[in-house]
Chains A and B, each alone.
Chain A
Amino acid sequence: MGTRPVTDQSQFNERQIKRIFYRRLGTAVWVSFLAAAVQTMIFFAQFDPAYLNEIASITISIDRWQGYALGFVFFWLFSFITGLFCGVIMALPRTKLAQSIRQES
């Protein structure tokens, strides 16, 4: 599917721009959710959260369930941030560079 950035927003109205934004945000949330699920599975198959809690430098005590959940949220958050940045970087700023790229294609 296309991911070419919207460089020239003049052809869209406010509502459409909002939709595009929410669509991209939703994509990042959903895809990072899937990615986090896989990461959690692989990671915790190797490392026991109870043990990690023992050797961690943070001194809060968590049980395994909380460990799994925390790990999942952590992976989700960071994957989401990655996705978000991808989106931001991909949408070229409205500069001369973006203009020229757009005209080329």
Chain B
Amino acid sequence: MSTQDTRPVELKLYKAHEKVYPRETKGRFQFKRKLAVFVLLGLFYLLPWFDWGGHQAVLFDLPHRRFYIFGLTLWPQDFIFLALMLIIAAFSLFFFTALAGRLWCGYACPQTVWTEVFIWMEQLTEGNRNKRMKLDKGPWNFNKIWRKTAKQFLWITFALWTGFTFVGFFTPIKELAVNVVTWNLGPWETFWLFFYGFATYGNAGFLREQVCLYMCPYARFQGAMFDKETLIISYDEKRGEPRMRGKTRREAENPGDCIDCTLCVQVCPTGIDIRDGLQYECIACAACIDACDDVMASVGLPKGLIRYTTENALEGKKSRVLRPRILIYGAILTLLVSSFAYALLTRSSIDANVIPDRNSFYRIVDAQRIENVYNLKIMNKGSQTAHYEVSAIGLDGLAVDFETDDGVLSAEPGELISVPIRIRADRSVANKKIHTIKVVVNEVDNPNNKRTETVKYFGYDK
């Protein structure tokens, strides 16, 4: 695309927008999509209401800088998990796109899912495609006004509820509900509630396919993951052409299977004609498959004139699912997921940091022993108060010494404590300029929960 002169494209991209009135469809793929809508939105709207171990099951508590995800509490120190999760999400997207095209777009993207719901509400209030088109063309009479008002009412209520739920992932939703009812929202909560509500309303109610066309980054690069074996939704041109209908069709000798009913065009949420070939606009929602299958069944022709297929299959070549691209993406994905699982399972609830005291290398105490001073920082990433012990290994007879107000080292959940520690060794042992030792912090009640940090130890080499 980059080699062409793009000036005309830029203009075309901004041609006046024609409203798309998708026609309602039923069928096996639409059933699956509906299922996806219910599962995904169900999770979104219900999850924040569940509790787990004394806190909201899923809560991204930004003011306290901790994330609760069921039994797991993540602190900023666990950023690696967040990063890994995002990388895994990205690779899954690559993997599934290479395998089955724009599955994400058709079934799981919030844009599609919310648009779907908004269209349901539109159908409920304004009727089916023909009625909606007529209504929009007709004059502003009573019928039109109340239908449009009812639609707006549903849309706005739903959008606000969405905004509310969204904020409920960041502030405890039950408190939030009370605050909403008592009109007691803080400025940020108010802002985000309306912001997200408005975004939902605008994107799902009005922008719809334009988000996919103009705004979505994924739509721009998904093509790079496609190859000739990727599942695409395609019209079987060999079988369908020459398309014709009515009298021409009856009189024709060898008509193609396409009866040119244009139903596939009417159901398309992005307003394209799949018979023109694979297009950038197609979000692979499979509505045209369901529509066409119905038509084929009613005229007694085999289904699948429009179907999930691959470019190779269309050209009559053999398709194979396992190919280097899939294997490589798959391998990377497996590696990432297993390292994520491993890191999660072996995650220690102690985060420790040992920083050498900047002011001195070492000190000689009672003539025989060397002392190095460090600052030890411990963060308790668990969900309970913990007591700690500190020891050092790496040289014979290392002794660790520290002073706290009450003699013990303990931290509340999420607390960061900082304490100076002194590590002593015999002069005869610490006889090199620099040694490497390990400082071990472990929980008193659970010695297996520990954290080891490597530090330099300055010895006496004169």
Contact = CB atoms under 8 A, between A and B. Distances in A.
B223 to A, nearest CB: 11
A6 B44 CA distance: 44
Given A3-B6, A16-B11, A65-B188, A48 B220 contact: no
B63 A2 contact: no
A68 B62 contact: yes
A4 interface: yes
Interface string A42-77: 000110100000000000000111101100000000
A49 to B, nearest CB: 9
Interface string B1-35: 11011110111011000000000000000000000
A75 B63 CA distance: 20
Nearest to A23: B14
A48 B2 contact: no
A69 B191 CA distance: 11
A1 interface: yes
B397 interface: no
A86 interface: no
Interface in B48-100: 62-63, 65, 76, 79, 82
B82 A45 contact: yes
A1 B215 CA distance: 13
Contacts of A2: 1-2, 4-7, 9-10
B13 A48 contact: no
A1 B63 contact: no
Contacts of A45: 76, 79, 82
Interface of A: 1-4, 6, 11-12, 16, 19-20, 23, 30, 34, 41, 45-46, 48, 63-66, 68-69, 105
Interface of B: 1-2, 4-7, 9-11, 13-14, 62-63, 65, 76, 79, 82, 186, 188, 215, 217, 220
